[in-house]
Amino acid sequence: MQEENILIQAGLSEEQALAYQSLLDKGPQRASDLSRWTGIKRGLIYKVLEQLESMTLVSKHGGPGTVAIFSPAHPSLLLSNIERKEKEVALNKEILLSSIGTLSSKYNLIIGKPSIQFFEGEEGVKQVIKDSLTATETILQYVDNEAVNKYIPAENKEYTNKRIKLGIKKRMLSPNSQHTKDRVKTMNSEFIELRVINNTEQFKTVMQIYNDKVTYLTLSENKKIGVIIEDADIANMHKILFKQLWDKAEQVKVGV
């Protein structure tokens, strides 16, 4: 009974543990004999044995027209099964972590609360950037171009190419720095409008407003953080504020 409990703790069901334990105790058996020894109904014992076969814990012998004999595999395979399950759990956890923000967003929307998703590291940055490719309107952006080109140049290049292919345009407010003046020459005037604000200091941040969303990226040597806030009223407020600043900002010719 103690060994059976160990097998259950190793991940086998009660019936699987009973059948496998019986094969270890009594050696290779026919399904009918195993049913009698274990008390597992004959219709169920075949299903249990198939499950154990799929776990490589049991092998079946016997050709067409003969009664199949079932033999136990070495118990060390139990450890292999546990390790395989641990890898599956780790993978499932990673998949869930990458999707939890979207799932939380849907949940918050149905209960009427603003959705807030938080991301960290390079993968987090990619998630926030990728989300803006869902924009169905011109993206309004505050951006420190120097920080973008310093900390995520490859990601930004890939994103820009995808954005242009999707036909998504931007209005961009940037610091009035030499870097911005140099950077603007390489931009595509068909998809970017740029104006500068009287600030030459880096703010190491990107803020984008589109649809019903406001997103933030904080970029520095030791910190890459992304946030997505989804709420129509919050987004609308930021659109109004952006327009006020946009109207007063200095226009810069793009691509020249």
pLDDT for 92-119, tens place per residue? Answer: 887 776 676 667 767 766 766 778 888 8
Residue type, 129: I
By C-alpha distance, which of 159, 37, 174, 251 is closest to 15? 37
Q: Which part of the chain has CATH 1.10.10.10? A: 2-73
- The token pair at 182 is 């140099």
The two beta strands, 115-120 and 69-72, are unpaired
Q: Does pTM surpass 0.75? A: no
What number does CATH give the domain 115-252?
A: 3.30.870.10
Taken in order 24, 27, 31, 35, the sign of the CA dihedral is negative
Bridge partners (DSSP) listed for residue 6: none
pLDDT for 136-193, tens place per residue? Answer: 999 999 998 888 888 888 888 899 999 999 999 999 999 888 888 888 888 888 899 9
Taken in order 245, 247, 248, 253, the sign of the CA dihedral is positive
Residue identified by tokens 């003046």 is 181
Three-state DSSP class for residue 141: strand
Dist. CA 91–CA 216, nearest whole Å: 28
Q: Which part of the chain has CATH 3.30.870.10? A: 115-252
Select 2-73's CATH number: 3.30.465.10, 3.40.50.170, 1.10.10.10, 1.20.1300.10: 1.10.10.10
